[in-house]
């Protein structure tokens, strides 16, 4: 697997397995952390008084999306309307209702008006791209002249000329820079490996290294690539700091921690204090009956019930979808005290087993080759609710600035 795969491969490549007992055992200590937390985001209440991330979904048959399959910012594999998934109107009739506060639907005119002459950036993996695609299609309702925008190392984005606003995504799946090192250049590798990926924990990937000062709002994430599917034993990650291999070598999750610490330090140092900074937690997967490469499926017609969630996601159950909560624990711990706001979209998304592209991928052979996509989200769909939440937090954040 090379770092520059053809883009049509990505939708099916972002799948995870945490099958090894090694990882499971290293998380036992984190599980007490979970049980001590009655709500996944209870810590945030202190900051904002209002927790948008805790609540439930209610059916509202009058609800309709703000865009359709003709939006030019779609990615084919997520364009479930175009790919003729049935019941999309049912999927999009669910409304997230936070327990103790009001979540307003984004008004794209008002939002872009408030954002005039400002820019919003996403940095991370394809789940942030999924988020961006939803955001662009929604904002386009207020400015049909929106143009594709791809500068400053961005993977994709749009410029909204009526408001002089740019919203873009910088692809950096590990956040740190990583490069393939073939075996011949590196004597002493273990037998059986074809080389390794060198990860410079203290160097941001080029794609977002030069964006400080351009964006007024940034949404970071990493997580969906930290697994043995992406980086198997034959192609492991090897972590470097200050140009030297870290000794003894770090396992993947310790590597993630070191990368997080270093990238957060970089962000705090290089990005202006008045840049609004968010960190999006993991987007949960919904593979049922097996993992992505074991005919795992997500052909569901309704969201999960609250009392079903633990059986799907609780690490103690050791199911195929446990990694979101496991990684969140690591990420939340590292972010504590940084002032970067948590965007804890995990819990609300855990309910939505009904809203992945599944078999409606726009290519006949896709499922046979890559399995169902129970990882990314149909658009229109769940990320539209992420946009409602993010836009509300951005407007609140601008008020305080």
Residue 301 engages ligand NAG in binding (rule: CB under 6 A): yes
Residue 20 engages ligand NAG in binding (rule: CB under 6 A): no
At its nearest, how many Å lie between ligand NAG and the CB of residue 292? 10
Kindly tell me which residue out of 20, 76, 164, 179 binds ligand NAG, with binding defined by CB under 6 A: 164
Count the residues of the shown chain that bind ligand NAG, applying the rule CB under 6 A: 8
> Which tokens hold the place of 325?
């909560």
13 CB-near residues (< 8 Å, 6+ apart)? 1, 5, 230, 370
At its nearest, how many Å lie between ligand NAG and the CB of residue 214? 7
d(CA 118, CA 116) in angstroms, rounded, equals 5
Taking the alpha carbons at both ends of the chain, their separation in whole angstroms is 44
Quick one: 88 or 324, whose CB is closer to ligand NAG? 88
Q: Which stretch binds ligand NAG (CB under 6 A): 76-84, 91-99, 294-302, 330-338?
A: 294-302
At its nearest, how many Å lie between ligand NAG and the CB of residue 301? 4
The alpha carbon of residue 46 and the mean position of all alpha carbons in its chain are separated, in whole angstroms, by: 25
Quick one: 45 or 359, whose CB is closer to ligand NAG? 359
Q: Which residues pair with 288 in a beta bridge?
A: 297
DSSP states along 247-305:
SSPPPHHHHHHHHHHHHHHHHHHHS-TTSEEEEE-PPPP--BSS-TTTT-B---SSPPP
Q: Which stretch binds ligand NAG (CB under 6 A): 38-46, 95-103, 274-282, 293-301?
A: 293-301
Residue of 40, 34, 26 lying closest to 253 (CA atoms): 26
At its nearest, how many Å lie between ligand NAG and the CB of residue 17? 12
43 CB-near residues (< 8 Å, 6+ apart)? 37, 332, 336, 342
At its nearest, how many Å lie between ligand NAG and the CB of residue 117? 4
d(CA 68, CA 389) in angstroms, rounded, equals 20
At its nearest, how many Å lie between ligand NAG and the CB of residue 234? 21
At its nearest, how many Å lie between ligand NAG and the CB of residue 87? 4
Quick one: 99 or 148, whose CB is closer to ligand NAG? 148
Quick one: 7 or 86, whose CB is closer to ligand NAG? 86
Kindly tell me which residue out of 48, 294, 311, 318 binds ligand NAG, with binding defined by CB under 6 A: 294
Tell which positions 74-103 bind ligand NAG, by CB under 6 A: 86-87
Quick one: 200 or 216, whose CB is closer to ligand NAG? 216
Angle at 11 between CA 232 and CA 299, to 5 degrees: 105
Kindly tell me which residue out of 76, 268, 295, 317 binds ligand NAG, with binding defined by CB under 6 A: 295
- DSSP label of 9: G
d(CA 137, CA 161) in angstroms, rounded, equals 15
Quick one: 258 or 355, whose CB is closer to ligand NAG? 355
d(CA 192, CA 170) in angstroms, rounded, equals 34
154 CB-near residues (< 8 Å, 6+ apart)? 121, 168, 169, 170, 207
d(CA 315, CA 320) in angstroms, rounded, equals 9
Quick one: 215 or 278, whose CB is closer to ligand NAG? 215
Quick one: 87 or 179, whose CB is closer to ligand NAG? 87
Whose tokens are 């009001």? That residue is 102
Quick one: 59 or 294, whose CB is closer to ligand NAG? 294
At its nearest, how many Å lie between ligand NAG and the CB of residue 290? 6
Residue 346 engages ligand NAG in binding (rule: CB under 6 A): no
The contact mask relative to ligand NAG for 102-141 (x = CB under 6 A, - = no) is ---------------x-x----------------------
Residue of 113, 17, 134 lying closest to 374 (CA atoms): 17
Residue spans of alpha helices (H) in 165-249: 206-209
* Residues lying near ligand NAG in the complex (CB under 6 A): 86-87, 117, 119, 164, 294-295, 301
């Amino acid at each position: 697997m090379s770092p520059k795969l053809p883009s049509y491969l990505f939708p099916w490549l972002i799948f995870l397995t945490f099958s090894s007992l090694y990882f499971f055992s290293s998380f036992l200590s984190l599980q007490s952390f979970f049980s001590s937390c009655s709500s996944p985001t209870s810590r945030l209440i202190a900051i904002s008084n209002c927790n948008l991330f805790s609540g439930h979904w209610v059916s509202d048959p009058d609800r309709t999306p703000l865009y359709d399959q003709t939006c030019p910012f779609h990615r084919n594999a997520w364009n479930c309307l175009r790919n003729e998934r049935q019941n999309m109107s049912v999927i999009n009739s669910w409304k997230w209702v936070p327990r103790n506060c009001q979540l307003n639907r984004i008004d794209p005119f008002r939002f872009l008006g408030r954002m005039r002459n400002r820019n919003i950036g996403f940095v991370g993996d394809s789940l942030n791209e999924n988020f961006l695609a939803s955001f662009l299609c929604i904002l386009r309702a207020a400015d049909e002249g929106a143009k594709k925008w791809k500068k400053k190392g961005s993977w994709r984005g749009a410029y909204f000329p009526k408001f002089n606003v740019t919203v873009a995504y910088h692809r950096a799946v590990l956040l740190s820079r990583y490069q393939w090192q073939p075996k011949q250049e590196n004597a002493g590798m273990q037998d059986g490996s074809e080389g390794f990926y060198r990860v410079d924990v203290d160097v941001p990937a080029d794609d977002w290294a030069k964006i400080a000062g351009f964006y007024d709002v940034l949404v970071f994430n990493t997580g969906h690539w930290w697994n043995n599917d992406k980086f198997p034993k034959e192609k492991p990650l090897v972590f470097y700091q200050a140009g030297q291999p870290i000794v003894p070598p770090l396992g993947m999750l310790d590597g993630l921690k070191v990368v997080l610490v270093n990238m957060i330090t970089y962000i705090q140092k290089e990005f202006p204090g008045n840049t609004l900074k968010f960190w999006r937690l993991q987007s949960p997967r919904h593979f049922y009956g097996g993992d992505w490469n074991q005919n795992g499926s997500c052909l569901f017609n309704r969201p999960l019930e609250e009392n079903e969630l633990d059986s799907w996601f609780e690490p103690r159950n050791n199911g195929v979808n446990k990694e979101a909560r496991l990684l969140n624990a690591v990420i939340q711990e590292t972010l504590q005290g940084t002032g970067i706001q948590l965007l804890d979209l995990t819990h609300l998304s855990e309910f939505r087993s009904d809203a992945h592209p599944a078999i409606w991928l726009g290519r006949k052979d896709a499922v046979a080759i890559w399995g169902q996509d129970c990882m990314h989200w149909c658009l229109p769909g769940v990320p539209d609710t992420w946009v409602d939440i993010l836009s509300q937090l951005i407007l609140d954040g601008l008020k305080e600035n």
